[in-house]
Structure 1
Amino acid sequence: MNESLLVFNWEQAGSAGPEIIGGKAANLSRLRRYGFPTPNGGVIGAGVYRLFVKANRLNVAVKDLSGLTTDRILDPEVTTGLAAIQRSFVDGDWPPELEAHLQVFLQGLGLMDKAVAVRSSATMEDSAFTSFAGMHQSVLNVSGWIRISRAIRECYASLWTPQAIAYRRKMGIEDRDVEMAVVVLEMVPAVVAGVAFSCDPRTGRYDRILINAAWGLGEAVVKGEVEPDEYLLSPGYESINIVEKKIGKKQRMYRPISSGGIESVDVEAERRESPALADEAVIDLSLLVLRVFESVGEGRDHQDIEWVYDGHKFHLVQTRPVTRIPRLTFSAIADQPVLWSNANNKDVFPGVMSTFQWPGIALFIERLFVESCRAMGLKFPEGLRWIRLYRGRPYFNLSAIQWAYYDGIGMLPTELNKVLGGHQPEIKVPSQRPRRGLNGLRRWGRLMKFVVGSIRNQKVASRSMEELWWAAEDWLCVDFQDLSDARLLDTILQIVGRVNVFGPIYQSVNNAAGSFIAILEGVLERRFPGRGATLANALMAGSGVISADLGYRLLELAKLAKEDPAAVAFFTAPSFRPETWREALLKREGTGRFLDRFEDFLREYGHRAVYESNIMNPRWIEDPSYLLRSIRDYILADLVTLPSPANKCRQAEEEVKNRIKHTPLRVFLPFILKQAVNAVRIREQGRSVITKALQPIRALAQEIGRRLVERGLLARQEDIYHCSWWEIKAIFSGSWDGRGLQALVQDRKARYEEYLCDDVPDVIIDENPVRSTVTVDRNASYLTGAGVASGQATGPVRRVWHPDQGTNLQPGEILVAPSTDPSWTPLFLKATGLVMEMGGTVSHGSIVAREYGIPAVVNVPGVMKLLRDGQTVTVDGDVGRVYLSGV
């Protein structure tokens, strides 16, 4: 008998796993590990069940059930046979050695003479797919070995009830794959008990918390024998608010009996319709629920939690995933699968999101889509989920977005996909001509309103961006170490609030950029068949966007450094160490001009970073190594010539002007071009300003991390990014002492590293990942994508997966990348052409390539694997092709 695999205290259970201790025990052990209030207890593993079955020769009886089908389970002879099997379990005998071992275990936990709850924990119970809710036995308020022993055997017997077997058949689970472990918990004196959900499982709203509460033990609520108090809460970053409250008629309650067991009794008349919990306690419980969702649910799987309140504090006695949540979507596409896509997200949110930041980003994105629907005058389901995480990465609800823009303004899914980029399917729509008929007239009206609002917001945006920029500067002037814990959190909320005010304005301009480019391309296509996109790209080149200016400024710094012998000595040293830049340059004479200009650059662009949307990544003002390496690359490559797309733009202007000078388009087309260029310029500047606001949030996060390290709750300051907002709030409010936080962070860091190595799919249909597969004819002469910057360029391929690998890119090479964000801009100046796996007309890479006049083709699926370094290709941005020398 291997005693180490039979029984487990909570610490041991944490490393066991559900296949050994069952789902209920595994979840409880995680609650305990992460510092949640759970009763004293332990686990009798599934190994004990196996030994018991073998000792009582029950193997044959249960094996004979393998052929039992669902339609026969309720036959009288079958139910009689199952009842006999259950009695055999309850009346079975423990092997003496095993019995002694269990007694010693319970004695060691201090549970032998205390009132305990004995709860089933089957090996496939309480998982994300199979809950077995209410199927297996729990026995409350027993004490002493004789009663505890019988309760354990009753749990074993409950594995073989008609209900449990029928459920297994329904879920396709073999009897031999399920075994029974048992949890033994010290009874909590229950004043109030109930269940809580981190979502609303009735409506499908993920942005709600549902709590049910009743007097006494939770059995009345779980069994549905009482009308409980019901609370619906809205968890916001600023506060958690009760939005609905219904006080139930709690006429009955369960309570322990002094001799053992429980009984149902009448509730005193004056308490029946009185709230079982004060509102403040409900808010406290909801904070616990959010923490369980973020930790045990990993911010992904919503949780069904059983809790007990002893009059002073809450105790959690069970948590499991909510396995069935109604789907909330537009009624017109309710019969279609949900398409989730990371299109555009690879640009905006590359990499794995941090636990600290994700809830704020999700709320921000949800708000943007809600405001877009309102701007279109489109009705939408409240609480619709617009964005989610999969393996740590954000995915848009493409189905909802495609329908919203289709029904709102008549934009076809094909057209929207072109703007977003990516390789994704389309929802089915009623018509390919959505702006015809009565509904079409409504869509035209909404489109006009949408366009006018976008133009108006372009004017508002400049003022809003300036206000947000200087607000961020003011926050950066505050010494955050002087602030109290509460003031630190309040300051983050102030910043988030300001960003949220700017968000809808920014989204309106963002929408305008895609819409006006689409209109521009459409108008040109009708006049110049087959060349609309090419001409639009050429006309928009060199329009002056802030992301492109960043590259120009770096190139100017490289030119200045080349004129400075001391700076050249620093940048061309064989052992280049960018982290020593300030000391090294200050020690050298003659570097004052370069140093001053570089520090000016940092004051203007230092808020940006490699993959800047994730505040885990240091800002350039903190660590400018990446910039210095880029300058060094320019110097070593003798790259001092600024790219100029002026000729392309001038030629396109002349060609278009000559064709339309005697038509109404001579007035309309320049207007549309101006709006498109201005919207793109504001879009890129707006992103910079939002990134500026992230700078003080990162500084505040660092200060919170410093304090938690100082208090012994974190090992490293940077670990703060693996803490959720609700955990920090609980610690700073005093409702949690932070015990278990380090264990939680340790688990999250391991998961973060695992996710970083993932090759994630571009699309998820419902819950099924769909990976882009590309079959290339070895005799094919080109790959097809979308041309987003006009012209042709030929050169050797250089695949770059991360901007830090940019030193490998040599001038004259074709940059091939999965996607790009502003930190890739310095690389563009070395590239003669650009190819990306992802991207749309308003993706960052597309905008900067047009600005620099670099031919670019995006949305080429699998190109990172199809091409090889050094292979010569020709990028044709006019027709959206990459011509090959051989694949």
Structure 2
Amino acid sequence: MSELPVVTGLTDPEAVDPARTGGKGANLARLTRAGLPVPAGFVVGTSAYRRFVREHGLDVPIGQEMSRLDDDPASVEAASQRLRQAFESAALPEWLREAVEAAYHALGAGPVAARSSATAEDLPQASFAGQQETVLDVAGAAELGAAVRRCWSSLWTTRAIAYRRRHGIGHEQVAVAVVVQRMVPAEVAGVLFTADPVTGRRDHVVVEAAAGLGEAVVSGRVTPDRWVVDARTRSVLTRPDRESAGLPTDLLDRVVGLGVRAAEAFGSPQDVEWAVADGRCWLLQSRPITSLFPLPPAAEGAGLRVYLPVTLAAQGFAEPMTPAGNAFLRTLAGGWVGYWLTGSRRNEHQAAPPWLPTVLGRLFVDITPLLQRPRLADRVISGMRMKDPTTSTALREWLERNADRLARPVGHTAVRRLTRWAPEALSLLAGLVTAIAAPRHHRRRVLSRTDAGLARLEREAARRSTPLTQAEFVDRALPAATLDLITDQLPAVYAEILARAGAEWLVRRWLGSSAGPEPVRRWLPHDPTLAMGAELARLARAHAVAGTEPSATGPDVQEFLRAYGHRAPDREIDLGLPRLAEDPAYAVELIRGYRRAGAGGDALARFEAGAAAARVTADELVAAVRRTRGRPHAIVLRALLHRYRELGGLRERPKFDMVRAIALGRRTLRRVGAALVADGRLDDADDVFFVDPVDLRAVLAGEQRDLRALAGANRHEFEREVGRRAVPRLLVSDGETVYGPAATHTAQRPGVLVGTAVSPGVHEGVVRVLDSPVGAELQPGEVLVAASTDPGWTPLFLLAGALVMEVGGVVSHGAVVAREYGLPAVAAVAGATSRLRTGQRVRVDGGDGTVTLLDPAEPAAQAIPMTPTGAHS
């Protein structure tokens, strides 16, 4: 096989291939072919790099050095120095020297710039900005040869090695070309972003400029002048304060025009380096702006749209979901919204509703119709304040600035909607009356219906004999049936809420106290999440008494899994994530942890004491009312408290049973995955959860699609996105991303982190920062610090002394359960998992929403920025 050409001109058709010319070279070639002004030049191709490495035997030390790498920065630095020295000390072979000299002389033999151009550079998902080197003002063939070797060696800088490791790019996969271009003696130069890299807005162009070479701007050695320009009208929105800024209006307009043309050539927003010499504008480099959060699919003619992240705002987690998990939740959420709009329980959606798009594995919901109506917008903001105060504040601030940009509302009138909803409203009302009148009977009947409904679904899934019908069951039949189960439980949930609210109102009115009923709200008897924790504590105590160790195959653990095995340690609403029944290690780990810490008996005692205290408190409140208000008032209060305790905890049942349905869907879909493995179309049965249901059904119906490649690509994106910490609280269709409220200028007390008070009480203890409940090793009394929590975390609450979360509000799951456990808790502490460290001693005040650092050796860390920024070179 013949070697590829050593040198390729930027005008050659082959130059647009990044495998030959690297990311930077390929992009410059595309700009050239698009007719944009690019300095003349050539590329020393990747084939030359690979041949040089092979002939000098450098692949051996590269392999050795990379195989020995660990997380110690010093070892990475040492490996980098050795590899760079090996490259730069190796002699330039004759075949390379002759080819480079000939191309250099054909270019005019004047001063040139040599820029590294790696194959894994300037990619949409990883720009590698600033990772490799550029050598400017290279004069002479000998100096150019040295510059080529220096660019090659820069593939092995410390920062480039670390960047590839962070993005999961194998070192053996990369090679580097060198772009050589005539030097532009710039009078003024800089960078241009065809979308605002800070706000994300795609209709804004940002230009930064300084006198001289652009290297000073991109390296950060000078503070450039900055303009923000409307991409459509070219009007200047913001400009430098100083009058002597070195970019006249006509030149600014030309630079913006070239940048917009570059973005059109690539079909995506670009980060462009430019320079001006003798009145002529040149483009020196163009790469995708990788820091931008992607746009949701465009809604034709819909005007400006505003989206909220569903799982972050409603469930408190920022991680993505698997394609299978998103598909199920999207269909269920679509049916839920349709139910509230029309009163119909059946979900007729056969495709993803456009107002529930998925972006980077996260489900977003279009709330524009609500924001277009001021009264509804106020209700949304107010209601969200209890669930997620951070998003509530960010939304309010955005509306104050942008409400006039939203289109006028259209759609059905409230009267027509109410008319369609009337039959379901009557059914709900009848159920509510029954639940209040006979709470125990209603509770038992509803839970019996739910169990019977899930049993019917189990039988239906078992009857589906082909992979296609099984996939259709999960994708279409199961979400609609799950919605029926949830809506059937709503009267009981609302009755519990009304009974509690009524009792609290009467206590405030008759006894003048709002804190009196607090113990009654704890250790609710019919909360399945609390029951799961109590069962784990009971098992721990039983093993401690018997002197035995729990085992995943033990009959007691197996019995626990029959009741709770459908749950997951984390993010259990994602159908694609494993259940406890698949891997009981987490449950066994908790039982052992309780036993080692001696907490099994204490935890169970807390349950028993809490339930007894609730009964005693209820009796005391009734007695106090009897003394001060008389027997009739006491009878009314007793009736409400009795109903509340009979229904107490049922608000957790809809999600608990929804997860039971999700577990059924997971088991069914794994059968499909196993069949595809047997057919050789997937490597692992669990890969089926990383295939979009549309693709899955198409293949099962006979279409030819590469499921293995689709699953691999989706899994790679999922694993990459799991590490993303910055997820916008608001995503606007013009690209604007809002990561949180505007920073306040209120002076913060030194050593105090401020959040939202969600569960009263004060606790001093040692911090334990966790990103998952699995393998937590939380010790009794430690302060649990997490980004968020869901039911899978709840067993840890029995050990924790207090809870601190980065997201959430008063009615978020962690807050509600913390109050029921009597656990002090603070939510919405920005950057808590980064600003606190394991082992640090703190005081958590769940009454005023503060976390005070008590460790004098550890000053309070600065708040992490909420908006991602990019780097340039």
Task: Spell out, residue by residue over 1:701-720, the C-alpha distance to the aligned partner (whole angstroms, 9 max, x if none).
Answer: 21222222333332332221
1:757 corresponds in structure 2 to: 723
1:645 corresponds in structure 2 to: 610
Q: Within the alignment, does 1:634 sit opposite 2:594 as a pair?
A: yes
| Aligned partner (choices 751, 770, 783) of residue 800 of structure 1 | 770
Deviation at 1:799, TM superposition (A): 2.3
Deviation at 1:727, TM superposition (A): 0.5
Where 1:178 maps in the other structure, the secondary structure is helix
2:518, 2:754 → 1: CA distance? 18
1:402, 1:509 → 2: CA distance? 31
| Aligned partner (choices 714, 718, 722) of residue 748 of structure 1 | 714
Contact 2:464–2:470 (8 Å) recurs in 1? no
1:435 corresponds in structure 2 to: none
2:13, 2:497 → 1: CA distance? 61
1:673, 1:842 → 2: CA distance? 21
| Aligned partner (choices 679, 683, 688) of residue 715 of structure 1 | 683
Question: Which runs of no fewer than 5 residues in structure 2 stay unpaired?
Answer: 1-6, 41-192, 204-229, 237-252, 267-292, 345-351, 404-413, 861-873
Where 1:357 maps in the other structure, the secondary structure is helix
Deviation at 1:657, TM superposition (A): 3.7
Contact 1:546–1:681 (8 Å) recurs in 2? yes
Deviation at 1:346, TM superposition (A): 3.2
Q: Within the alignment, does 1:769 sit opposite 2:738 as a pair?
A: yes
- Which moves more between the two structures, 447-456 or 657-666? 447-456
Provide closer, same or farther for how the CA distance between residues 375 and 517 of structure 1 changes in structure 2, counting only shifts above 3 A.
farther
Provide closer, same or farther for how the CA distance between residues 798 and 167 of structure 1 changes in structure 2, counting only shifts above 3 A.
closer
| Aligned partner (choices 652, 660, 679) of residue 692 of structure 1 | 660
1:416, 1:697 → 2: CA distance? 30
Contact 2:319–2:723 (8 Å) recurs in 1? no
Provide closer, same or farther for how the CA distance between residues 370 and 751 of structure 1 changes in structure 2, counting only shifts above 3 A.
same
Contact 1:341–1:424 (8 Å) recurs in 2? no
2:21, 2:457 → 1: CA distance? 44
Q: Within the alignment, does 1:326 sit opposite 2:298 as a pair?
A: no
Task: Spell out, residue by residue over 1:858-878, the C-alpha distance to the aligned partner (whole angstroms, 9 max, x if none).
Answer: 344443344443344444445
Task: Spell out, residue by residue over 1:504-527, the C-alpha distance to the aligned partner (whole angstroms, 9 max, x if none).
Answer: 345666666667666666665566
Give the aligned length: 581
Task: Spell out, residue by residue over 1:470-502, the C-alpha distance to the aligned partner (whole angstroms, 9 max, x if none).
Answer: 454465568969822332234323323311222
Where 2:649 maps in the other structure, the secondary structure is helix
Contact 1:375–1:453 (8 Å) recurs in 2? no
2:829, 2:451 → 1: CA distance? 36
What amino acid is aligned across from residue 467 of structure 2 in structure 1? D
2:578 corresponds in structure 1 to: 618
2:327 corresponds in structure 1 to: 359
Where 2:323 maps in the other structure, the secondary structure is coil
2:294, 2:484 → 1: CA distance? 26
1:770, 1:841 → 2: CA distance? 20
TM-score (normalised: structure 1): 0.55
1:861, 1:515 → 2: CA distance? 33
Where 1:835 maps in the other structure, the secondary structure is strand
1:597 corresponds in structure 2 to: 556
1:815, 1:665 → 2: CA distance? 42
1:546-625 residue pairs with structure 2 within 5 A?
A: 546-565=528-547, 567-568=548-549, 581-582=552-553, 595-611=554-570, 612-625=572-585
TM-score (normalised: structure 2): 0.56
Deviation at 1:811, TM superposition (A): 0.7
What amino acid is aligned across from residue 800 of structure 1 in structure 2? L
Deviation at 1:751, TM superposition (A): 1.6
1:677, 1:372 → 2: CA distance? 28
Contact 2:539–2:556 (8 Å) recurs in 1? yes
1:343, 1:54 → 2: CA distance? 47
Q: Within the alignment, does 1:497 sit opposite 2:455 as a pair?
A: no
Deviation at 1:779, TM superposition (A): 3.7
Where 1:804 maps in the other structure, the secondary structure is coil
1:368 corresponds in structure 2 to: 336
1:271 corresponds in structure 2 to: none
1:812 corresponds in structure 2 to: 781
Instruction: Give the percent of matched residue pairs that are identical in Structure 1 and Structure 2.
Output: 22
Contact 1:419–1:514 (8 Å) recurs in 2? no
Task: Spell out, residue by residue over 1:792-829, the C-alpha distance to the aligned partner (whole angstroms, 9 max, x if none).
Answer: 4332222222111421x101222222221111122111
1:551, 1:387 → 2: CA distance? 34
| Aligned partner (choices 819, 825, 830) of residue 856 of structure 1 | 825
Provide closer, same or farther for how the CA distance between residues 776 and 668 of structure 1 changes in structure 2, counting only shifts above 3 A.
farther
Where 1:760 maps in the other structure, the secondary structure is coil
2:645, 2:24 → 1: CA distance? 57
What amino acid is aligned across from residue 751 of structure 1 in structure 2? E
What amino acid is aligned across from residue 722 of structure 1 in structure 2? F
Where 1:793 maps in the other structure, the secondary structure is strand
Provide closer, same or farther for how the CA distance between residues 168 and 833 of structure 1 changes in structure 2, counting only shifts above 3 A.
closer
Contact 1:782–1:884 (8 Å) recurs in 2? yes
Q: Within the alignment, does 1:727 sit opposite 2:695 as a pair?
A: yes
1:301, 1:520 → 2: CA distance? 45
2:797 corresponds in structure 1 to: 828
Deviation at 1:393, TM superposition (A): 2.9
Task: Spell out, residue by residue over 1:38-82, the C-alpha distance to the aligned partner (whole angstroms, 9 max, x if none).
Answer: xxxxxx955545699989xxxxxxxxxxxxxxxxxxxxxxxxxxx
Provide closer, same or farther for how the CA distance between residues 633 and 54 of structure 1 changes in structure 2, counting only shifts above 3 A.
closer
Where 1:870 maps in the other structure, the secondary structure is coil
CA RMSD between the two structures? 5.2
What amino acid is aligned across from residue 748 of structure 1 in structure 2? N
2:261 corresponds in structure 1 to: 178
1:403, 1:454 → 2: CA distance? 34
Deviation at 1:700, TM superposition (A): 1.9
Deviation at 1:633, TM superposition (A): 0.7
1:866-881 residue pairs with structure 2 within 5 A?
A: 866-878=835-847, 880-881=849-850
Deviation at 1:614, TM superposition (A): 1.3
1:15, 1:698 → 2: CA distance? 45
1:363, 1:791 → 2: CA distance? 40
Contact 1:790–1:850 (8 Å) recurs in 2? yes
1:406, 1:19 → 2: CA distance? 54
| Aligned partner (choices 403, 426, 432) of residue 455 of structure 1 | 432
Contact 2:296–2:359 (8 Å) recurs in 1? no
Contact 1:465–1:689 (8 Å) recurs in 2? no
What amino acid is aligned across from residue 766 of structure 2 in structure 1? P
Deviation at 1:358, TM superposition (A): 1.1
2:426, 2:625 → 1: CA distance? 27
Task: Spell out, residue by residue over 1:342-364, the C-alpha distance to the aligned partner (whole angstroms, 9 max, x if none).
Answer: 555334x6631111231331221
1:467, 1:729 → 2: CA distance? 32
Deviation at 1:604, TM superposition (A): 1.0
Task: Spell out, residue by residue over 1:404-452, the C-alpha distance to the aligned partner (whole angstroms, 9 max, x if none).
Answer: 99659x968435521556552255799xxxxxxxx9xx99x99998984
Deviation at 1:601, TM superposition (A): 1.0
Contact 2:331–2:479 (8 Å) recurs in 1? no
Task: Spell out, residue by residue over 1:750-781, the C-alpha distance to the aligned partner (whole angstroms, 9 max, x if none).
Answer: 22122111113462153412236688956468
2:354, 2:36 → 1: CA distance? 48
What amino acid is aligned across from residue 696 of structure 2 in structure 1? I
2:648, 2:369 → 1: CA distance? 24
What amino acid is aligned across from residue 469 of structure 1 in structure 2? D
Contact 1:825–1:848 (8 Å) recurs in 2? yes
What amino acid is aligned across from residue 610 of structure 2 in structure 1? P
Where 1:831 maps in the other structure, the secondary structure is coil
1:386, 1:670 → 2: CA distance? 46
2:367, 2:503 → 1: CA distance? 24
